[in-house]
Structure 1
Amino acid sequence: MEEIKAVVFDVFGTLVDWRSGVAREAARILGGQGIAADWGALADAWRAQYQPAMERVRSGEIPFSKLDVLHRINLDHVLGAMDIPADEATRHELNLAWHRLDAWPDVVPGLQALRAKRFIAPCSNGHIALMVNLARRNGFVWDAVLGAELARDYKPKLAVYQHTAAAFDLEPWQVMMVAAHSSDLAAARQAGLKTCFVARPSEHGPGKGETMASVTVDCSVRGLDELARLMG
């Protein structure tokens, strides 16, 4: 652990509870207009469009677009599929639900403890404005905001992880990637980073998140507070 100089994080699911937050915002915005729907199902359907939309960028089919743009395309698709009426202002407000997500309880104290001795930053597919809004909402104090917008590509492309390490003037092996998703960690490891799995068993609803890594990692923890203790 002594050789690790920076710790970087996946955000959606790893640091913030996207499913509960999106469902809450949908209930507030759409439910407030008298619309009834399964808000958890809406959140799941919206998230299900996440990787296919980014794959269009990764494959070169479309130019790099910020996540807000992709989220809006996906939202329009989901509302149409669920036959939910919404005007332009409502769709715009709902699309910003991803900027108003809440952190898991261990995250803020864990980040504070880790930052005492190491650089910390998001390595997220979310763009800078989105990361800043989540940071301000939850009290995250970053040393930098890194990830997809810096690399102009989306994880799990190796360039995203490599640009993150380079931004700190560090070698990849001096950086640890923390995520609740085995696929993210497998790509980070391939890019040369150290990796840590953090369990988020409720990410997709109670008992529907990953509880252990399905790939080789350098460590596994149940929360960022545990990681901070492990790293001294």
Structure 2
Amino acid sequence: MVRGKLKKVAGSLVLGVGLMSGSVMAGDVVEKPKVLIFDVNETLLDLASMRSSVGEALGGREDLLPLWFSTMLHYSLVSTVTRDYHDFGQIGVASLRVVAQNNGVELTDEQAKKAIITPLLTLPPHPDVKEGLARLKAEGYKIVSLTNSSNKGVQAQFENAGLLPYFDARYSIEDIQIYKPDLRSYEWVLDKLDVEPEEAMMVAAHGWDVAGAKEAGLQTTFIARPGKALFPLSKKPDHVVKDVNELADILQ
């Protein structure tokens, strides 16, 4: 499929959103997306619930949870660049052991798995998620997910979080073994959806995710969850919102 550039056409939605939200400037014309593509971990599901299990594994250092997750993302990119694929769960376990070693904590593979696997599969949704998704679905949007987690992993996560009814499809990079934010991961899901880049919007709480999607030509929304910030050198997303409900306000 040939991917075109964003077209400003008659009948497009005029989004007069202020500077406080970091969205498009008032008067800019942006075509409404046909498909909303949601990231999963931290965007929809609250990773904070893993603080106790990860902290216990790291000798009481609950403050190291963000470092573990960023280390996992770091080595997922290493996996893609070196073409040495390991699934996200394996990388998560190995990354926890790296963080433990760097902080003088002895941690076995089994201990790392216990701290990560079950808690990661049972993450609760953020309080705004179900209401926001229901509103977007009621507006007629096709809603899908694109995650670095495995197919079985995201299936279990959505079942446990009660999110299955809100999604038309779930996509995992496991099928192509190329982690986000590699541009090929976004191009792959666009082909699966049979839409042009400008017809889809990536929604994520990670600056690196919206940066990758933006470079691939998608519309983007950054959900500014606590502790999350955009990378100043990346292209700005089309919208910056505090939660899924605010996105629903914009797209209604």
RMSD: 2.3
**1:181–1:213 contact (8 Å) kept in structure 2:** no
Following the alignment from structure 1 to structure 2, what is the Cα–Cα distance between the partners of residues 171 and 7? Answer: 13
SS of the residue 2:95 aligns to: helix
Aligned to 1:231: 251
- Structure 1 residue aligned with 2:97, among 76, 91, 103? 76
TM-score, scaled relative to structure 1: 0.83
Instruction: Flag the structure with larger Rg.
Output: 2
Aligned to 1:219: 239
Question: Could you tell which deviates more after superposition, 154-163 or 44-53?
Answer: 44-53
- Report 1:1-232 matches (<5 A): 3-18=32-47, 20-26=48-54, 30=56, 36-41=59-64, 43-62=65-84, 64-86=85-107, 88-96=109-117, 97-116=119-138, 117-141=140-164, 142-200=167-225, 202=226, 208-210=227-229, 214=232, 215-232=235-252
Following the alignment from structure 2 to structure 1, what is the Cα–Cα distance between the partners of residues 224 and 67? Answer: 22
**1:147–1:160 contact (8 Å) kept in structure 2:** no
**1:175–1:194 contact (8 Å) kept in structure 2:** yes
What amino acid maps onto 1:221 in structure 2? V
Quickly say closer, same or farther: Cα 1:213–1:86, change in 2 above 3 A: closer
**2:203–2:210 contact (8 Å) kept in structure 1:** yes
Deviations 1:32-51 (A, max 9, x none): xxx8512222x133123123
Quickly say closer, same or farther: Cα 1:7–1:138, change in 2 above 3 A: same
**2:51–2:62 contact (8 Å) kept in structure 1:** yes
Structure 2: runs of 5 or more not aligned: 1-12, 14-30
Aligned to 2:9: none
Following the alignment from structure 2 to structure 1, what is the Cα–Cα distance between the partners of residues 231 and 70? Answer: 21
Deviations 1:185-218 (A, max 9, x none): 1211111211112111x2xxxxx322x6743222
**1:127–1:148 contact (8 Å) kept in structure 2:** yes
What amino acid maps onto 2:128 in structure 1? D
TM-score, scaled relative to structure 2: 0.77
Structure 1: runs of 5 or more not aligned: 203-207
